[in-house]
Every structure is written in C-alpha cells, then in structure tokens.
C-alpha cells in the first residue's frame, strides 16, 4: 500500500502530516527519520482501522501546503488480514 504525506522543514527538523489520516502528526530530525516515523504511524493507524472493522482510508494526494512543504508518497505494510480482502 502507499500513502501520500506532507513533509515540511520546521526549525531544523521535518514535520509530517498524512492527508488521508488527519490524526497523524509526527516528525524526524532528518528526512529519513521523518519518513520512518510516518510509515510507523500509518501502519499503527491501519491496525486500529482493522481492529475496529473499518475500511482503510483511501490515499489523498492533495493537501494544502506552504511553499516549503512537499508531497511524498511512501509505501507501508498493510495488516495481513486486510490485504486479502
């Protein structure tokens, strides 16, 4: 699976929002750390959707952003039982 994130430089760090999952806000000291944090947060949220019997939210490729932010698509591992659906 893949999801689009909004990666924004912020005071020497990088903040991350996920347009498809507005409850996710994470960060990293480097872009690699920010991407890893985003991937982990998305995967945890997907597990919660599965536990609640909810469908996974579709990716949203558009988001409001400022001039320093960029949209990045990352691959994530979906919980195994949802992949077969």
The reported pTM is: 0.86
Give the distance, in angstroms, between the CA of residue 79 and the centroid of all CA atoms in the same chain.
Answer: 15
Average pLDDT value for residue range 60-75: 83
**DSSP tag of 11:** T
In this structure, the number of other CB atoms found within 10 A of the CB of residue 43 comes to: 15
pLDDT of residue 30: 97
What rounded mean pLDDT belongs to the chain?
A: 89
Q: Comparing C-alpha atoms, which of 47, 55, 58 is closest to residue 18? A: 58
Q: Bridge-partner residues for 13, per DSSP?
A: 10
Q: Is the pLDDT of residue 66 over 80?
A: no
């Amino acid at each position: 699976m893949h999801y689009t994130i909004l990666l924004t430089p912020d005071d020497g760090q990088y903040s991350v929002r996920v347009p498809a999952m507005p409850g996710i806000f994470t960060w990293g000291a480097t872009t690699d750390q920010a991407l890893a944090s985003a991937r982990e947060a998305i995967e945890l949220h997907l597990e919660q959707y599965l536990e609640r019997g909810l469908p996974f939210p579709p990716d949203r490729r558009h988001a409001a952003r400022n001039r320093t932010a960029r949209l990045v698509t990352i691959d994530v591992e979906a919980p195994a039982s949802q992949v077969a659906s």
